[in-house]
Amino acid sequence: MWIASFNGNRLGVVEGDTIADVTTALDAIPPQTWPLSFGDPLYRYLDAVVARASELLPDAPRSPISDIVLNSPVRTPSKIIAAPVNYKKHLDEARDDVEINRGAHVRTIDELGVFLKSSTSVIGAGETIRLPFDGRRIDHEIELAAIIGREGKSISRDDALEHVAGYAIGLDMSVRGTEDRSWRKSHDTFTVIGPWLVTADELPDVSNLDFSLSVNGSERQNSNTSMMIWDVAKLIEYASATYTIYPGDIIMTGTPEGVSPVGPGDVLECRIEKIGEMTVNVR
């Protein structure tokens, strides 16, 4: 199932160019009481919501996707776990470009491990990336995003994909500079997740997906997930050895070569095979 969040508080199922409104399927989520669980309750109760959505689908009202505003299919992740330099050619370009490396030695993912982005940086495809200041280079990074569906700690590589609810396109917007990644990549609107969630049962293998990003119609990034240095399972194994992962947590799997600066008015067209396409505006 392709599950979308839209128009602020609506839940939809995507069918081709239309979206079916199944918002009342959210009634399958039990009332929340304090203290709340970490994460996004949609993902903690996703199986029940999907079952209810399937029942509602035949009679659900439909709209063209072009008529609605897409929000992130994950709204309240407890954390966003991100892989630095997880594609060899991006490592090479970072080492070659002083605007990216600022004269510092660029380390590998084996040396760096993973980092966290602020959970409040998330927006959807229909929202707008807002550049926080002039005069700093801010780059696009297209990445496969894995969304966690099942809580876990110290998850083995063999079990890792059983904890994934599904996948989406991710944008890891990044200020270049010497500050820590957790600051450079955590500004409000700097994590775009969309256009929707493709549930893992429909996408059991993400190890060989073409993906690309264009800025104002000019292609900048074009790669394949087979070029990842640490795959999704390894990222989950590594991250969950440190912190419990919760339903709705986002794994940003790293970007390939071709990162470049964006400015106000730019339009980013993002595509991942078998997930879809999203067009995101920058202001």
Residues forming contacts to Mn ion in the complex (CB under 5 A) are 141, 172, 255
CB 72 → Mn ion: shortest distance, Å? Answer: 17
CA-closest candidate to residue 252, choices 239, 266, 267: 239
User: Residue 47 contacts by C-beta under 8 Å, 6 or more apart in sequence?
Assistant: none
Decide: 281 and 174 in contact? Cβ < 8 Å: no
CB 201 → Mn ion: shortest distance, Å? Answer: 27
CB 188 → Mn ion: shortest distance, Å? Answer: 17
Distance CA 234, CA 155 (A): 10
Q: 141 vs 249, which CB is nearer to Mn ion? A: 141
Structure tokens at 61: 């009202």
Decide: 71 and 8 in contact? Cβ < 8 Å: yes
Q: What SS3 state is found at 141?
A: coil
Gyration radius (Cα) of the chain, Å? 18
* Nearest-CB residue for Mn ion: 172
Q: Where are the alpha helices (DSSP H) in the chain?
A: 41-44, 46-56, 88-96, 98-101, 109-112, 181-184, 232-240
Q: 65 vs 83, which CB is nearer to Mn ion? A: 83
CB 43 → Mn ion: shortest distance, Å? Answer: 22
CB 7 → Mn ion: shortest distance, Å? Answer: 29
Q: What is the dihedral of CA 138, 140, 144, 145, to 10 degrees?
A: 40
Q: 7 vs 255, which CB is nearer to Mn ion? A: 255
Q: 43 vs 190, which CB is nearer to Mn ion? A: 190
CB 19 → Mn ion: shortest distance, Å? Answer: 29
Q: 94 vs 203, which CB is nearer to Mn ion? A: 94
Beta bridge mates, 11:
5
Q: 172 vs 237, which CB is nearer to Mn ion? A: 172
